[in-house]
Amino acid sequence: MSIDEVTSSTASAARPVSASGRGAALFKVGLFALLIIYAGFIAALLIANISYMEPGNIAEVLRDPDLRFAARLTLWTSLLSAALAVFFAVPVAYALSRYDFPGKALVDTLVDMPIVLPNIVVGVTLLVFFQTAPGRALEGTGFRFVYTRAGIVLAQFICVAPYAVRTVAGAFSAVDKRLEDVARTLGWSAGQVFRRVTLPMVRGGIVAGGVIAWALAIGLYGPLMVFTGTTRQVTEVLSTSIYLELSIGRIGPALAISMLMVAFTMASLIIFKLLAGGQSLW
Amino acid sequence: MVERQNNAMLSVDALRMGVKGFALRDITFSVAEGDYCIILGPTGAGKTLLLETLCGLYRPQSGRVVIAGRDVTGLDPAARNIGYVPQDYALYPFKTVAQNVAFGLEARRLGRDETRRAVDRVLELLGIEHLRQRRPGKLSGGERQRVALARALAFQPDVLLLDEPLCALDEATRDRVIDDLKQLHADQGTTVLHVCHNTEEALRLGHQCVVMQAGRIVQEGAMEQVLNAPASAFVARFLRLKGLVRGAIARRDGVAAFCLDGAPPWAMPQCTLSPGPAYAFFPMQEVTVTLQRPEPEPDTLLLEGTIETNMARRGRCELRLNGPTRLRVPGIYPPATWTEGRCVYLSIPREKVRLLPDESNHR
């Protein structure tokens, strides 16, 4: 083969590579254009809210005793419901990700149900449940839920627990079963293997499940309006405060509360993403 | 306690086990104390499932597993005192190397000092003391393999079960690890059951060999015995033994003969196989190759071929023959004058030839 032949064959071989390179560049440009439009729209919403507020709104909200009560109530109810969600999510997620049993598909669907139900339906369902015999029997034990703060925790728990279950189940599924098998051959019982191998492996997933449950509980609104109402200094939480503020025409404080919640939710999501290590939710 | 048979450290008796449409059937074998036994078989033969059943990760449907004189068939993995190294090593990423190695000792509730001494001993034994504080994610394949071995050996198990421990290593590392495994076994005297599908690995490490096919053991015995007398054409082919030729058995006047195309029939009076397609196997180290036709001898069989390639001229110890047998004759360095196309004669002692049924014929 002469040098000329080599040069021409190299040039012809290079052509398809450069064509595919242009295609890849166009593909990348298209992707980033859509990404910028989408993220930009959400950023524009936030900027619009901030620009609509007056400078003193945030301070006003932080000084208002009713709103301070609502913030405190939001904090402890959401923490409690997130803790309950994690408490149930760990065993439920482990059972769903590790074992096959009759009716598993049905149980799996029931666990997911609150994710797809409109939140207001959860509120109505809870209200109806406590009018039935099992609900009345439960309230007969002394635990009152309807129109109470305990009801806020219950409604938040029902709505956020499935997200915690899915996050933790994803973490359990990612654990190589062989790690558990080897621990058993090394002399550990099944319970010890769960505590000493499986749980440390899913620590990030459990924290991520807790964070997402907490963030969602803070923002929950629909079922609370139906099931617990929103009475000042009794059952008012920040999400329902926004409604109350809007209903009496105080747009500035309503936006200020919204922006405080946005800041908190963004911080929670960043923590969640770091801990979940890029795993998808389900 | 169960009485040990022939000093067996591990004995498996009529084991049956089924999982997800695959079954281990009538698995019976034993490994003497201090022996190195290789379980060989193609992918899907059930080797890993057998190892996991011996670990106690699966309950057998029937049969018995005895380790160090104890019937462990119904026991949990934790109570079997076995060291297990799975294919991917399964090191705990959230523990350091020292913590990984100490994990089995902690389960035995040894004191802190005793645990530290045992960890030091085994890390030194495997030459990985310098890795003590590293996490598994920062180790090479060979280092991870040593850590997994150290973890399995630290609590001095009765039997060490290795599931293809070398398959993820590059060739040079594998070579070094095989030498290390041999040395470790010689020093420690631990009874080892090593699953692999690499014949060379098996030849270098094993004293004893169990060959599996489709959930059954098709041959078991000392390594030399299996290599010199494979029980079936499958075993010979799987072990890549060279002296296997396909022909047919015919009977003339009540005497069996093995017939190869283009060669005079071999009279095989001891043959009990029915007429039909069959294989003849002869260990290549028993074969004499000459350029001149040898004088006929009553107990020597003769095979003729032409040289296709003299691999000695390419630095390999092998002669390839043309003709119906298409034999590869390893282990000889034929002179360079043995050029392609020349005729050679293979003299094979009749008593070294084994006739094997053609299994494909029975399917």
Interface confidence (ipTM) of the complex:
0.83
Query: Which residues partner with A44 through β-bridges?
Result: none
Which chain A residue has the Cα nearest residue B151? A186
Quote the tokens at residue B96.
């350091």
Q: Which residues in chain B are contacts of A187 at CB distance < 8 A? A: 78, 104, 107-108, 155
Edge-to-edge strands of the sheet including B300-310? B288-290, B343-349, B300-310, B318-321, B328-330
Q: Which of B92, B145, B151 to mutate to test the interface with A (most CBs of A within 10 A)?
A: B92
Are the beta carbons of B182 and B38 closer than 8 angstroms?
A: no
Are the beta carbons of B66 and B191 closer than 8 angstroms?
A: no
Are the beta carbons of A221 and A237 closer than 8 angstroms?
A: no
Are the beta carbons of B16 and B175 closer than 8 angstroms?
A: no
Does the beta-carbon distance from A189 to B52 stay under 8 Å?
A: no
* Nearest-CA distance A200 → chain B (Å): 7
Secondary structure of A114-136 in the HEC alphabet? Answer: HHHCCHHHHHHHHHHHCCCHHHH
Model pLDDT, residue B309 = 75
Give the DSSP letter string of B84-126: EE-TT----TTS-HHHHHHHHHHHTT--HHHHHHHHHHHHHHT
* Nearest-CA distance A108 → chain B (Å): 23
Q: Report the 10 Å Cβ neighbour count for B316.
A: 13
Contacts of A79 (CB under 8 A, 6+ apart): A214
Per-residue confidence band for A7, with pLDDT thresholds at 50, 70 and 90: very low
Model pLDDT, residue B324 = 59
Q: Report the 10 Å Cβ neighbour count for A251.
A: 13
* Nearest-CA distance A164 → chain B (Å): 23
Distance CA B256, CA B252 (A): 6
Q: Report the 10 Å Cβ neighbour count for A223.
A: 27
Q: Report the 10 Å Cβ neighbour count for B305.
A: 23
Q: Which residues in chain B are contacts of A200 at CB distance < 8 A? A: 92, 94
How far is CA A29 from each of CA A18, A22, A33, A35, B187, rounded to the nearest angstrom? 16, 11, 6, 10, 63
Q: pLDDT tens digits for B74-129?
A: 999 999 999 999 999 999 999 999 999 999 999 998 889 999 999 999 999 888 99
Model pLDDT, residue A17 = 53
Per-residue confidence band for B319, with pLDDT thresholds at 50, 70 and 90: low
Does the beta-carbon distance from A185 to B155 stay under 8 Å?
A: no
Query: Going from the N-terminus, what domains does chain B have, and what CATH number goes with each?
Result: 8-236 (3.40.50.300), 242-362 (no CATH)
Does the beta-carbon distance from A176 to B84 stay under 8 Å?
A: no
Does the beta-carbon distance from B90 to A179 stay under 8 Å?
A: yes
- Closest Cα to residue B166, out of B184, B148, B151, B153? B148
Query: Percentage of residues in chain B with pLDDT exceeding 70?
Result: 91
Distance CA A206, CA B85 (A): 29
**Which ranges in chain B belong to alpha helices (H)?**
47-55, 97-107, 112-125, 141-153, 171-188, 199-205, 223-228, 233-238
Examine the pLDDT at B195 and tell me if it is beyond 60. yes
Q: Which of B49, B57, B81, B99 to mutate to test the interface with A (most CBs of A within 10 A)?
A: B57
In the 8-state DSSP scheme, what is residue B294?
P
- Helix H or strand E encompassing B264: none
Residue that wins the pLDDT comparison between A196 and A20: A196
**Which ranges in A186-237 belong to alpha helices (H)?**
190-193, 199-201, 203-219, 222-227
Examine the pLDDT at A10 and tell me if it is beyond 50. no
- Closest Cα to residue B145, out of B127, B169, B115? B169
Distance CA A131, CA A113 (A): 21
Q: Considering CB atoms only, which of B77, B88, B108 is closest to A185?
A: B77
Q: Report the 10 Å Cβ neighbour count for A18.
A: 9
Q: In this structure, what are the phi and psi dihedrals at residue A105, rounded to the nearest 5 degrees?
A: -60, -40
* Nearest-CA distance B262 → chain A (Å): 46
- Helix H or strand E encompassing B19: strand B8-19
- Helix H or strand E encompassing A56: none
Does the beta-carbon distance from B52 to A181 stay under 8 Å?
A: yes
Are the beta carbons of B189 and B158 closer than 8 angstroms?
A: no
Q: pLDDT tens digits for B198-226?
A: 888 898 999 999 999 999 999 999 999 99
Are the beta carbons of B305 and B327 closer than 8 angstroms?
A: yes
Model pLDDT, residue A281 = 35
Q: Considering CB atoms only, which of B56, B80, B86 is closest to A182?
A: B86
- Closest Cα to residue B339, out of B360, B363, B308? B308
What's the whole-number average pLDDT of chain B?
Answer: 87
Q: Which residues in chain B are contacts of A201 at CB distance < 8 A? A: 93-94
Does the beta-carbon distance from B90 to A178 stay under 8 Å?
A: yes
Examine the pLDDT at B3 and tell me if it is beyond 60. no
Q: Report the 10 Å Cβ neighbour count for A8.
A: 11
Tokens 């020597």 -> residue: B300
How far is CA A53 from each of CA A251, A256, A266, B67, rounded to the nearest angstrom? 8, 7, 19, 77
Q: pLDDT tens digits for A224-258?
A: 999 999 888 999 999 999 998 999 988 888 999 99
Model pLDDT, residue B147 = 95
Are the beta carbons of B253 and B247 closer than 8 angstroms?
A: no
